[in-house]
Homo-oligomer: A and B are copies of this chain.
Amino acid sequence: MENVSQARSYSGTQYVYRHDADTLDCSMNFGIYLPDNLSAPAPALFWLSGLTCTEDNFISKAGAQRVASELGIILIAPDTSPRGEDVPDDPEAAYDFGLGAGFYVDATQSPWQKHYQMRSYIEQELYRLIMESFPVDPEKLGVFGHSMGGHGALTMALRTPDKFRSVSAFSPICSPINCPWGEKALGGYLGEDRSDWREYDACALIEDGASVSSVLIDQGTDDNFLDEQLKPGLLESACTTAGLDLTLRMQPGFDHSYYFIASFMEDHLRWHADHLR
């Protein structure tokens, strides 16, 4: 790991590291915030960002370090796709596929499958690197994210609830099978057989029996993507049918931006701290 940058932030240090990611066949940056006063091993959260983001958006705009330092929680913020000149991008360089839009899947289709293995990268390679390199308690690890990253957080926690013990999301893509962003991404990375998409769809995973102890979701009512792309109603229905404990908070007037995320970040961090205790 190469130390790209570090800066004091509240009672802790915000680092960016760079490493060679074998699963992605490229170099990757990730952010990690280490509070000064940690119980060892300490609770930690993976933050998964949304479309177009890098590791930088969360660490510079979400304001999470203040409460993380108070609670003694480590925050890990990966990038959202493989990177580099060798990595193929959307043919039209669209923002919703390719670079900045890995969708936290393991691609099976050419030319994407060589690099676009974000599921394995986060769940296996980065997970192992973090556990080997930092004082994280593997039994106190949670995951949260925004939009595409909310989808990533929900699906990772539903598939591996023993690895990610708590999960929350801001304006997640609740059912990529049922929205244009998801259809483009899952079709592109996984091919046209929709049965292959179900392990990357929170609602389908719940329908197929996956579960977590509870979920917190915040969603702004003035989010431009709410009706066409995000569809929290589908998740609400799936959770009701399955008896899964979902707290869905519709936040009046809030949009899809980091202003929204920052406004409710403290609630999410305290919620995770309670559930990881």
Contacts and interface: CB of A to CB of B under 8 A. Distances in A.
B262 A9 contact: yes
Most buried by B among A13, A60, A65: A60
A13 B253 CA distance: 9
A7 B257 contact: yes
Nearest to A64: B63
Interface residues of A, number: 23
Nearest to A258: B60
A9 B63 contact: no
Tell me the interface secondary structure of chain A in the complex: mixed
A162 interface: no
Contacts of A222: 8
A164 interface: no
What's the number of copies of this chain in the assembled complex? 2
A10 interface: yes
Output the residue of A8, A13, A14, A220 with the most chain B CB within 10 A: A8
Interface string A59-83: 0110101100000000000000000
A9 B263 contact: yes
A255 interface: yes
A260 interface: yes
Interface of A: 7-10, 13-14, 60-61, 63, 65-66, 220, 222, 251, 253-255, 257-260, 262-263
7 contacts: A7-B255, A7-B260, A8-B222, A9-B263, A13-B253, A65-B262, A65-B263
Given A8-B254, A8-B260, 5 more contacts: A8-B263, A9-B259, A9-B262, A61-B61, A65-B259
